[in-house]
A = this chain, B = another copy of it.
Amino acid sequence: MSNKNIGIKDVAVAAGVSVTTVSHVLNEVSYARISRETRDKVRTAAEALGYGPNRLAQALRTQRTGMLGLVSEEIATTPHAGRIILGADEAAKARGYNLMIINTPGSASLESRQADVQALLERRVDGILYATMYHRNVELPDNLGNVPSVLVDSVAIGGNITAVVPDEDGGARAAVGALLDAGHTRVGFINNTDDVPATRQRLQAFRAMLTEAGLDGEAAPVESEVSEVQGGYEAAKRILSRGDRAEIPTALFCYNDRMAMGAYRAAAELGLSIPADLSVVGFDDQELIAANLYPGLTTVALPHYEMGAWATEHLIDAIEGKEDLSLMALHPTILGCPLVRRDSVAAPR
């Protein structure tokens, strides 16, 4: 029975006051001078009638909807989307905003994505979050510029929009560091073949870490495959069977948890036990995989929740005039990728 058709006017009548007064007390307008008793009368009447404000009317009048648009690429295919959405939803809710979500296939044309943004614009969202499901460079619909916006998990081709991305370099360093700290000196990298920032940055960090540890980073074995379980299996098989025994890596850094899952299988087939004979670290911290493999996979977590929340916080700050997004647009903000220790790393034999 909460919001049938009762409006502010009905409350006014019931309380025997004007709509202004009702509006003032219900919105706790600071400069309003209203007696304690009137306030109570109004509140009681509103309560009794089950009054709830019509946010549409409010929005039309104030030019503020309190809605944030979230255009999300590939909501379904990756569990990452959920964490971004959750981070955004909780941050939004905490500040009195709600989320309008539009899914857009990763393959969607620029025009179709522009239409999605347009739909959000017509609903007068106060700002837009544009989230991609893996860290990459995107071409953005130009109507995104009509309203404060922030990019989540990508940077724009042509730059100039505030963005938040994971710290690929730091994450990769943490992963390789864990292996090095355990005493490994022969570590291999199973990389992705896609040309995305993560591929390049993780490789670079891998080599750099080894070199900084006094090892030959440039010579360290790297095998690339599609970033799926099967690819990880094949790459691991290759990397673990080459050259003579003394040169085979005792530790593997894998581009992601799925590839690590493939590496587990390769190890099993080769009679290598994890972590006794082979240490493995992944990337992504996909719960379903990392926590459920046996032994549990040590990996690096992608800050999806945090990126969603960060983006929302700053978007709202910008909307409320507390911050100037253009000041942050020069460089993407980088959020840490913490190491999640489980049981796949041990000292080499």
Contacts and interface: CB of A to CB of B under 8 A. Distances in A.
A68 to B, nearest CB: 10
Q: How large is the interface on A (under 10, 10 to 19, 20 to 34, 35 or more residues)?
A: 35 or more
Interface string A283-313: 0001011001010000000000100000000
A338 interface: no
Contacts of A85: 75-76, 101, 103
A265 interface: yes
Interface stretch (A50-58, A184-192, A247-255): A50-58
B103 A100 contact: no
A124 B56 CA distance: 7
A146 B2 contact: yes
A289 B287 CA distance: 11
A86 B75 contact: yes
Contact of A121 (B3, B81, B86, B228): B3
A119 interface: yes
Nearest to A57: B60
A83 interface: yes
A119 to B, nearest CB: 6
B122 A54 contact: yes
Contacts of A228: 292
A59 interface: yes
B55 A123 contact: yes
A99 B93 CA distance: 16
Interface in A79-134: 79, 81-83, 85-86, 89-90, 93, 98-103, 118-119, 121-124
Nearest to A291: B229
Interface string A60-73: 10000101000000
Interface in A209-251: 228-229, 233
The 10 closest A-B pairs by CB, nearest first: A76-B86, A76-B82, A229-B292, A2-B143, A89-B103, A79-B79, A101-B101, A55-B122, A55-B123, A288-B288
18 contacts: A1-B146, A2-B121, A2-B146, A3-B121, A3-B122, A53-B122, A56-B56, A56-B65, A75-B82, A75-B86, A76-B85, A79-B82, A89-B102, A98-B102, A98-B123, A99-B101, A99-B102, A233-B294
Interface of A: 1-4, 52-57, 59-60, 65, 67, 75-79, 81-83, 85-86, 89-90, 93, 98-103, 118-119, 121-124, 143, 146, 228-229, 233, 258, 261, 265, 268, 286, 288-289, 292, 294, 305
